[in-house]
Amino acid sequence: MSHSTFYGFGTSNDGNISVAVCSDPKLEYEFVLDPTIVTDDVEWLDKDRVDYNLVLPEHKGTYLEERGVPLSFLDVRTVDEGVQWYSEHTDMPDCMLPYLAEYHWGKPVSAPEPGTVPPTKKKKKKPAPIMEIKHGKFRIEFD
């Protein structure tokens, strides 16, 4: 599987066309805001038929640098869309899909402020049992 590095977008002066610039020219594509301005005979492909793995600049030095991220993954914006994406593109069990989607597209979990430690409850020590030792002869009867 090949991968390409995504460098960013170039936009036309009027803002109607954006071009995705990649290290592989075959993966460069255009986003057209107003399809009526396209004058060439262009064959439009359904985006579901093209799902290349791209390596974004922020993936340098991570495990994603080798594998990349599918374009369809980058298109997901909500948890519900994420559940749908995982169900269509992975073999994960259905019970895991909401958790994975929540991890990627849910509310971020905030870390505590630096220098603040949440208070801990102090456990009370149970008193040690008191044992009494008696010396002497004892008689035990079993009835």
More confident residue, 76 or 110: 76
Tokens of residue 9, six digits: 């977008």
Given a cut of 50, is residue 131 above it in pLDDT?
Answer: yes
Mean pLDDT of the residues in the chain:
79
Question: Could you give phi then psi for residue 118, rounded to 5 degrees?
Answer: -65, 140
Given a cut of 60, is residue 1 above it in pLDDT?
Answer: no
Question: Could you give phi then psi for residue 10, rounded to 5 degrees?
Answer: -110, 140
pLDDT, mean of residues 38-43: 62
**CB under 8 Å to 119, separation ≥6 — which residues?**
none
Distance CA 75, CA 80 (A): 13
* Confidence at residue 68, expressed as pLDDT on a 0 to 100 scale: 80
Structural domain boundaries in the chain: 1-35+46-73, 76-108
How large a percentage of the chain has pLDDT more than 90? Answer: 15
pLDDT, mean of residues 99-104: 90
More confident residue, 39 or 76: 76
